[in-house]
Each structure stands twice: as structure tokens, then as C-alpha cells.
Structure 1
Amino acid sequence: MNVLVIGANGQVGRRVVQELAASSHDAVAMVRKEEQVDHLKELGAAKVVLGDLEKDFSEAFEDVDAVIFAAGSGGSTGPDKTLTIDLWGSVKAARYAEDKGVKRFVQLSSMGTPDPDEGGEKMKPYLVAKRVADDILQTTKLDYTIIRPGALSNEDKSGKIEVSSEGFTSMEGRSIPRADVAAVLVKALDQPNTHHKIFEVLQGDTPLEEELNNL
């Protein structure tokens, strides 16, 4: 499949491109700036397209079979960018996918979205945006999967995870490497049992593929 990676230049997105390059799929990396193109090609992207989440980026969906939405406004921006990128960017991506007949849509979300009020005032705008984006995605006709990781780290990929469809009761002292999150996003593409499902994920003791098969 040709997989459009939205947010391909982000910390998780770059790892998604690398995961796709090592798989049977081809990464179509969407970036905002021309100067980012060569780096994404070096990471293994079969194709790089330019697109801005705050504008019309529907052309990026040409000849695409699936989408991984891994975009995020980042911690250095304000609530305005959280709305236009994390929320509205996701909504537009889902609409473009429907318009272009792209059925498979894997979305990177976050733990804490079930009840944004519990995330604290600093995190609340981000969690609300992610929650609403997730809710809207579920109203589409897409074969969606929504993946909500816990705290992210830059440790090496472990290949072992723990998932929960009901939500973890506690994640104190726990996290998950970004590389493992990228691997989950890519592996879910080929897992029909993850269609129309939402699950949280942390680093764990079970091999990634086995844990996803048990969903």
C-alpha cells in the first residue's frame, strides 16, 4: 500500500517513515517545507509531497491507499495551533480520505483524552482537541484505528508493548518509546481486528504483534 504519513517530519512521524520503509508498504511523506524533502527521502520515503495542515492539502491523497495521521502542533505552540493542527487538521484529513475513497485511517491520539478535565489546565486544550478529533473520526465511514500512547520517550524500540481497550488504571512510572509507537501505527495497518477500535498502549512484556492480535 501507498501510505500517506501526515506529520512525517515529527518525532513519531519520522520513525513511521522508517518503519514503512522496512515493511511491504511505501511511505508517502507529507511535509510542510521544501527543505524537509531530502531528509525524508533519506529516511526511506518512497515519495514526499508538500502539504500544510492549515491550508488545503487534499492533493496529497492522490494514489494513496491508507493514511497514518501522526501530526501534532508540539509543546512550543499555543492553543490556536492545537486547534488548527491537532483537531482541524485531523478532521480535514478524514474528509479528504473519504472524498478520495481511501478507507484505512490510523490516527495517533493520546492517553488522557477520555476525560480532558483530569489532565490539568496546561494539557487540557491539547487533550480536548485530540478527543474531539477522535470523536469526529468515529463518525466517518473510514476503517479507522485510534491509538493512544502514554508518556513518550526516545529510548530504543523494545518491540514489546501492553495495550488496553478499557484504559489503564495507572501509568505512573510508565512510558513507551516513540519507536514502539511508530511500529504499532504501522503494524495496525494490516490488522483487520483493529478496525473501528480505540486502544491505549504502553511499553510492556508482550511482543508487539502478539499483543495486537489479542485485541
Structure 2
Amino acid sequence: MKVAVVGANGQIGKHLIDLLHDSKDFTPRAIVRNEEQLRSFQNEGIQSSLVDLEGTVEEIANGLDGTDAVVFTAGSGGHTGSDKTLLVDLDGAVKTMEAAKQAGIDRFIMVSALQAHNRENWNLSLKPYYAAKHFADKELERSGLNYTIIRPGGLLNETGTGKVFAAENLSRGSIPREDVAKAIYSSLTEEHTVNRGFDLISGNDPIEEAIKRI
């Protein structure tokens, strides 16, 4: 399976690219936003495409063309304003869905945020981000794509434990980015995760088992 990772230069994206690149079952394509990132992945022997999420749907579709699945893990970042959150985390995500359909790709995994589907549980200090995630997820549910929405808790740079809790609704918690990448990897071929969304935090269940029980 050829998997396009949108936001491949981000921390979750890099972990996921490594997992896919080391696998015999997957071929990753790094979707990145600048030439330096493109060259870095190409020097590692990883297929790459230069894509601006603020560009057109057609331009994004060209970058995805020839792949079988899309993982959207891009974000505007914590140091940008609400305008970039709107343009990347919401509109960029929706344009990527439209681009996937245009490119004939039907598998789409979205990295969202814990409890983004429940407004009453949003992190109020990140309200614009949560609003963007909420409505991007809603659009994905309506898109007709074979989607999975993964809603991780607070993201940590610690080494992954390989153990999580995964369920449709979980209370507050955190999780290493490495474990989020492993959960995405496990979800790619688990058919029962299709057209499902779930929260994900650190826990006691091995990742593959937790994903199988969603």
C-alpha cells in the first residue's frame, strides 16, 4: 500500500514515515511544504511531493496522485495565529479530502484531538484549534471516504511505551507522539476502524490489540 503522509516533517509524521519505510507492506510518500524538507526525505530514499495546503485542490491532488491512502497529520503549529489554524487545520484538511477523491484515493486517516467531537470538553485555551478539528472531522465523516479519525490526547516527545487506551470517549490524558504514529500504522489495514473515530491516550493495552478492539 502506498501511503501519503501529509505533514510528514512534523513529529508524528516523521515517526510514521519511519514505520512505513521500514515495512515490507507499505511505501510512504512524504508530503511536505518546502524544498529543504523535500530534499531531506529524498536523500533518505523516500518518495516525496511538495504541496502547499493553502494552494488549490488540483495542486494537492497532483501531490497525492498514485497513492492508496492519505494520513493527514499536518497542522499550522502552536506559534501561528488563528488565521493559519483556519487555513491549514480546517480548510487545508478539507481540500486534502477533496484532493484525495479527485485522485481516486478512498482511504483517509485524520489525526484530530482528544474530545474534538464533544464541544463541552474542548480545551478552552485552544478553542480555535479545537473548532478547526471539530469541523474538519465532520467534513470527513460526510465525505464518502473510508475514514478513520484518531483523536490523541496531549502530545508528548517522550519515547513511546507501546501501550494505550483507545475508545470512542475517553477523559483527559496524554500520549507520546511515537505511540500515535504506531496507532496510525495499525489502523491503516484494520478494516473495522473504517468509518470510526476514537480517542487515544497512554494506557495498558498493547497498541495493536487496542486498535483491534476499537
TM-score band w.r.t. shorter chain: over 0.9
Aligned to 2:35: 34
Q: How far apart are residue 40 of structure 1 and its match?
A: 2.4
Cα distance in structure 2, aligned partners of 1:197 and 1:81: 27
Cα distance in structure 1, aligned partners of 2:178 and 2:45: 16
Residue-by-residue CA offset, 1:124-152 (whole Å, 9 max, x unaligned): 10000000000000001110000000011
Change (3 A) 1:45 1:125: farther
Cα distance in structure 2, aligned partners of 1:45 and 1:201: 31
Aligned to 2:186: 187
CA contact (8 A) 2:149 2:197 kept: yes
Cα distance in structure 2, aligned partners of 1:212 and 1:35: 35
2:96 counterpart of 1:97: no
1:138 alignment partner, SS class = helix
CA contact (8 A) 1:26 1:45 kept: no
Q: How far apart are residue 37 of structure 1 and its match?
A: 1.9
Aligned to 1:177: 176
Letter in 2 for 1:131: H
Q: Structure 2 length as normaliser, TM-score? A: 0.93
CA contact (8 A) 2:61 2:102 kept: no
2:112 counterpart of 1:109: yes
Cα distance in structure 2, aligned partners of 1:39 and 1:185: 23
Letter in 1 for 2:91: W
Residue-by-residue CA offset, 1:8-64 (whole Å, 9 max, x unaligned): 11111111111111222011001111111232245x563011000000222112111
2:142 alignment partner, SS class = coil
Residue ranges of structure 2 left out of the alignment (5+ in a row): none
Residues 2-151 of structure 1 aligned to structure 2 (within 5 Å): 2-23=2-23, 24-41=25-42, 46-56=46-56, 57-116=60-119, 118-151=121-154
1:107 alignment partner, SS class = strand
Deviates more, 1:154-163 or 1:115-124: 115-124
Aligned-pair identity (%): 39
Change (3 A) 1:117 1:14: same
1:130 alignment partner, SS class = helix
Deviates more, 1:87-96 or 1:118-127: 118-127
Q: Structure 1 length as normaliser, TM-score? A: 0.93
Residues 197-212 of structure 1 aligned to structure 2 (within 5 Å): 197-212=196-211
Cα distance in structure 1, aligned partners of 2:37 and 2:88: 18
Q: How far apart are residue 120 of structure 1 and its match?
A: 4.9
Q: How far apart are residue 91 of structure 1 and its match?
A: 0.4
Letter in 1 for 2:49: V
Residue-by-residue CA offset, 1:76-126 (whole Å, 9 max, x unaligned): 001100011000011011111111210110000001312345435431100
Compute the RMSD of aligned alpha carbons. 1.4
